[in-house]
Structure 1
Amino acid sequence: MNIISNIQDVIKSEVFAITKVGEDLNNHNQDYEDVVNKIINLKGRLIFTGVGKSGHIGEKLAATFASTGTPSFFVHSTEAMHGDLGMITKKDLVIAISNSGETKEVVNIIAPIHRIGAEIIALTGNKNSTLAQKSDFLLLVQVNGEADQFNLAPTNSSTSALVIGDAIAVTVSKAKNFSEKDFGKFHPGGALGKKLLKEGVIK
């Protein structure tokens, strides 16, 4: 096996998947616009949920939204069924991530979340799935397959979900006129904090 060639093939596969997802937005622009406007006008918090690799993506996206002006956090779908649903209020908006849309742990919390009164956005690759059908909004992120040799490991699908989430976070931040000064308030530490302090953004 040519190691470098194999690495390049995986990168090309993921880039192709992301490009296709971007092009597919033209077919779902109203859905995406509705979601973005919902987040912009949100009175509560934006909550992500999922398990496995989708859960890890949810954790990252929650951190991205929080750091760019939208109060957000992650609730593990399994833990939600054992008390963590108490973190969710009727003013919140939940983004549930599952590529198949049939992940048991994610599907199981749909009804309890609706009983609380919160709305749900399905971020999935299957528009006919239980998650898509029972959610209030749909972000369809379809890929033709994964990047590994068995077409099993979440790679193209998880990367595409991450990119879509990042794109929405930045779009929402821009719509809210989130400034560099606002950004600095949430990043006082590390190399980034030092840079903003030096530039006078943080005082």
Structure 2
Amino acid sequence: MKNTSQIIRVARNTLQIEGQTLLSLVDTIGEDFVACVNKVYSSPGRLVVSGIGKTAIVAKKIVATLNSTGTPALFLHAADAIHGDIGMVRPEDLVMCLSKSGETAELKMLALLVRQSGNPLIAMVSREDCSLAQLADHILLTPVAREADPNDLAPTASTTAQMAMGDALATALLALRGFKPNDFARFHPGGSLGKQLYLRVSDLYVNNQVPAVNTDSPLREILLEMTGKRLGATAVLFPGSRLLAGVITDGDLRRMLNGNPDLEEVTAAEIMTTNPKTVDHDTLAIKALESLRTHNISQLVVTGRAGEYLGFLHLHDLIREGLV
């Protein structure tokens, strides 16, 4: 393999430079940052985030993070803004411009337009003495000693710093808004992440059949119930009620047969496992999965608020939903 040592050296150096850049941001978090957060938090409008080139890509990511954590945001490309898209900015909106140098022509022109329209302006820049910072009401400082590439040219450490500062802004706003997991679920209903936050056992077990026998049910009835309902198990209930006495699985049947009992006399009460693992129907599905993994089992008995038997939740139900 060619140039192994060079590849390792450059890659490690890149990570070291970017890591040091991120650590240096910690010291920039102070009153200016607090003022920016409060300005966005109290704004009746959206935070319009703009950039050009690589900073435009970072701006898009910041907008996505803000929107998904409860802060309305909009991406505006700086070049498009000065060719008509500035009309997207409403009177109640704030504007945040991203630029390493703070001297990019399109961003300076956009900043002037924002100032003329009376919208508050935040500048995320690496230097306080740049033109963009001078035009801004508030500054988010992202100082960069050097880029991570060997030529100190490609936007690497600078875009990493901007991305991290955007995350800091979003998480500070999230905390101020009291954003909770349930709120997060409203914005992320799709995919496995969303399902972890909102999908409950009650959404899944209802698709399964509900096998049940009584404590005095004979073996023939037990076998018919288990094979007919195709779950490999059945609940055992106290006669005349929906309260759970136990559960019978394929393993319970095998253990019973190994004991050579009188099959004509065997009842469910003699085969069942008492105190089976149960789950309340209102439990989050991801919590039920944790229980299955903890106890190394493939299904749980689902119970209602009064402890009544409702059905079974199987590992396959969780697999189908992409939680496993």
Please state which band the TM-score falls in when normalised by the shorter chain: over 0.9
Q: How does 1:49-68 map to 2 (within 5 A)?
A: 49-68=50-69
Specify the alignment match of 1:12 in structure 2. 16
Please provide the CA RMSD for this pair.
Answer: 1.4
Distance in 2 between residues matched to 1:121 and 1:178, nearest whole Å: 24
Structure 1 regions of 5+ residues with no counterpart?
A: none
**Could you tell me which amino acid in structure 2 is paired with residue 72 of structure 1?**
A
8 Å contact kept, 2:102–2:125? yes
Distance in 2 between residues matched to 1:114 and 1:184, nearest whole Å: 37
Identity across matched positions, percent? 37
Specify the alignment match of 1:69 in structure 2. 70
8 Å contact kept, 1:50–1:96? yes
8 Å contact kept, 1:48–1:95? yes
Deviations 1:112-135 (A, max 9, x none): 112222111000001111100011
8 Å contact kept, 1:88–1:116? no
8 Å contact kept, 1:54–1:158? yes
- SS at 1:44 equivalent: coil
Deviations 1:175-203 (A, max 9, x none): 110111111111011121222233549xx
Q: CA deviation at 1:32?
A: 0.7
Which protein has the larger Cα radius of gyration, Structure 1 or Structure 2? Answer: 2
**Could you tell me which amino acid in structure 2 is paired with residue 38 of structure 1?**
K
Q: Is the aligned partner of 1:87 residue 2:88? A: yes
- SS at 1:182 equivalent: helix
Deviations 1:147-195 (A, max 9, x none): 0011001111110111011011011111110111111111011121222
Looking at both structures, which has the greater relative contact order when contacts are Cα pairs under 8 Å and sequence separation is at least 6?
1
Runs of 4+ more than 4 Å apart: none
8 Å contact kept, 1:21–1:143? no
Q: How does 1:151-170 map to 2 (within 5 A)?
A: 151-170=152-171
Distance in 2 between residues matched to 1:17 and 1:179, nearest whole Å: 31
- Structure number with the higher helix fraction is 1
Distance in 2 between residues matched to 1:125 and 1:155, nearest whole Å: 13
Q: CA deviation at 1:12?
A: 1.1
- SS at 1:66 equivalent: helix
Distance in 1 between residues matched to 2:119 and 2:90, nearest whole Å: 6
- SS at 2:76 equivalent: strand
- TM-score, normalised by the number of residues in structure 2: 0.59
**Could you tell me which amino acid in structure 1 is paired with residue 116 of structure 2?**
R
Distance in 1 between residues matched to 2:28 and 2:180, nearest whole Å: 30
8 Å contact kept, 2:96–2:122? yes
Q: CA deviation at 1:52?
A: 0.6
Q: CA deviation at 1:64?
A: 0.3
Distance in 2 between residues matched to 1:157 and 1:10, nearest whole Å: 12
Q: CA deviation at 1:10?
A: 0.7
- SS at 2:132 equivalent: helix
**Could you tell me which amino acid in structure 2 is paired with residue 194 of structure 1?**
K
**Which deviates the most, 191-200 or 50-59?**
191-200
Distance in 1 between residues matched to 2:104 and 2:61, nearest whole Å: 19
Structure 2 regions of 5+ residues with no counterpart?
A: 201-283, 286-324
Q: Is the aligned partner of 1:97 residue 2:98? A: yes
- TM-score, normalised by the number of residues in structure 1: 0.93
Q: Count the aligned residue pairs.
A: 198
Distance in 2 between residues matched to 1:195 and 1:8, nearest whole Å: 36
Distance in 1 between residues matched to 2:194 and 2:184, nearest whole Å: 10
Distance in 2 between residues matched to 1:180 and 1:39, nearest whole Å: 22
